[in-house]
Structure 1
Amino acid sequence: MDSHVLQEYLDKHSFPIVVKKKRTYLTYEGLQDRYAYILKSGIIKTSVISPDGREFNLRYINSLEIVSLLRDEYSQFIDAPFNIRIESDQAELYQIDRVQFWKDINQSKELQMYVKDYYRVRLMYSMKKMQQMLMNGKFGAVCTQIYELYDTFGVQIEDGLLVDFVVTNEEIAHFCGITSASSVNRMMQQLKDLGAIKIQDRKIVITDMDILKDNIIL
């Protein structure tokens, strides 16, 4: 998505900025809210709660992006579609009245195109994620998540590809729909034994991307 259109829109207005600290929540699934939020800086995580009370992680977001779905154009209050939790030391988010945001979108062809692209990309991501979860099995799901973490936080270093963000095995389990972090521990050890990854300062370093890709249906 071309975020410069969104940035230009934000630069033309003086929207309030919400600052949240690490491990705090911006919204909870099902909680009514009258605002749309756009990430300005920091890292957040979206997640949903299953009927049996387990948390299922959706994705990390670390760049300028709408982080709360817009839903319909007219309701002043809507139920938040998922949890949004701060994962960096702090995060800054633009807070925009959602009805006013829709009015502005409808008056700007550039914003309309951005929002259409936003929903298209999110839909394609959700479909691909579902396919990977269903077809890869648990080990493949873990490999898929590590690949996705690299796609979001990856940095080239001398020893390989660094996921430059600390992600626990428990969090990986929540991304993959695996109930036990110990299961992820075993699969991470298997990947280490295969020479695919290593852990450096609590961060994942991918030392052989081909091994990961061999276990992923992309």
Structure 2
Amino acid sequence: MTIVKANESRDFMDKQVLRDYLETGGFPVITKKRKSYLTYEGIEDRYVYILKKGIIKTSVISKEGREFNLRYMNNFEIVSLFKDESSQMVDAPFNVRVESEEAQLYKIERDQFWIDVNRQMPLQHYVKEYYRISLMYTMKKMQQMLMNGKFGAVCTQINELYETFGRPVEEGILIDFEVTNEEIARFCGITSASSVNRMIQRLREEQAIKMQDRKMIVTNIDLIRQNIIS
């Protein structure tokens, strides 16, 4: 059974451009442990980070102090590019936290990165594609979250987990990453994890999912996607 990953929308050649740049540049690779933060929303930072290996999560904090999750990343890609190309220090747009046991990331001085981008046309094209795809993803995710109600929002997030972490097993597709109902609630803007519990139980009763060792197995993705207005 083939799964099309949501974060594989850039083709191989685009990513090869980025790989070639990193290999020839000799940039340092840092290792961060689970639950450690790479950046904090609103705190100045001077680096561009590119995920080499591991799983990270991006999130923002509301004015009320509630955390709202944005997405998981588990593939080779740029973590974030900040809007200002000329300043050496800029405010980070979101929190970045390591969710795997450890993560490895390339760490590049942002002013040097932008000099290289402006000098190298293939890299410049990749960055433009990064912005375009990131914008399209954000717009699509917001549309799905706003139009589908709470249950549809939970189904939207399960579908994204399916595309990001899914791997075939005998019973269906295993979401091979442990995600709590509290974390799903933070992706969906739901204040109570107990509300997500009820929705998860509904999907279990409809035989769309099952749980195994605190991980979710999707047994009927079509049923889940029927609840998503795209």
Q: What range is the shorter-chain TM-score in?
A: over 0.9
Q: Indicate conservation of the 8 Å contact 1:143/1:216, yes or no.
A: yes
- State whether structure 2 residue 48 is matched by structure 1 residue 40: no
**Using the alignment, how far apart are the partners of 2:217 and 2:65 within structure 1?**
32
- State whether structure 2 residue 190 is matched by structure 1 residue 186: no
Amino acid at match of 2:132: R
Q: How does 1:143-158 map to 2 (within 5 A)?
A: 143-158=155-170
Residues 126-161 of structure 1: CA distance to partner in whole angstroms, max 9, x if unpaired? 000110011100000000100000110110111001
Residues 18-73 of structure 1: CA distance to partner in whole angstroms, max 9, x if unpaired? 11100110110011011110001000000000111000000000111110223221
Partner-residue secondary structure (3-state), 2:104? strand
**Using the alignment, how far apart are the partners of 2:21 and 2:160 within structure 1?**
29
CA RMSD of aligned residues (A): 0.7
Could you tell me which residue of structure 1 aligns to residue 97 of structure 2? 85
Normalising by structure 1, we get a TM-score of 0.98
What percentage of aligned pairs have identical amino acids?
66
**Using the alignment, how far apart are the partners of 1:79 and 1:172 within structure 2?**
27
The alignment of Structure 1 onto Structure 2 pairs a total of residues equal to 218
Could you tell me which residue of structure 1 aligns to residue 189 of structure 2? 177
Normalising by structure 2, we get a TM-score of 0.93
Q: Indicate conservation of the 8 Å contact 1:69/1:81, yes or no.
A: no
Could you tell me which residue of structure 1 aligns to residue 22 of structure 2? 10
**Using the alignment, how far apart are the partners of 1:19 and 1:111 within structure 2?**
25
Displacement after TM superposition at 1:13 (Å)? 1.4
**Using the alignment, how far apart are the partners of 2:109 and 2:54 within structure 1?**
21
- State whether structure 2 residue 220 is matched by structure 1 residue 208: yes
**Using the alignment, how far apart are the partners of 1:206 and 1:25 within structure 2?**
30
**Using the alignment, how far apart are the partners of 2:66 and 2:81 within structure 1?**
22
Q: Indicate conservation of the 8 Å contact 1:22/1:86, yes or no.
A: yes
- State whether structure 2 residue 117 is matched by structure 1 residue 105: yes
Q: Indicate conservation of the 8 Å contact 1:143/1:215, yes or no.
A: yes
Residues 160-218 of structure 1: CA distance to partner in whole angstroms, max 9, x if unpaired? 01111100000000000000000000000000001100001111101111210110112
Q: Indicate conservation of the 8 Å contact 1:76/1:99, yes or no.
A: yes
Question: Runs of 4 or more off by more than 3 Å in structure 1?
Answer: none
Q: Indicate conservation of the 8 Å contact 2:175/2:216, yes or no.
A: yes
Unmatched runs of 5 consecutive residues or more in structure 1: none
Q: Indicate conservation of the 8 Å contact 1:29/1:79, yes or no.
A: yes
Unmatched runs of 5 consecutive residues or more in structure 2: 1-9
Q: Indicate conservation of the 8 Å contact 1:16/1:96, yes or no.
A: yes
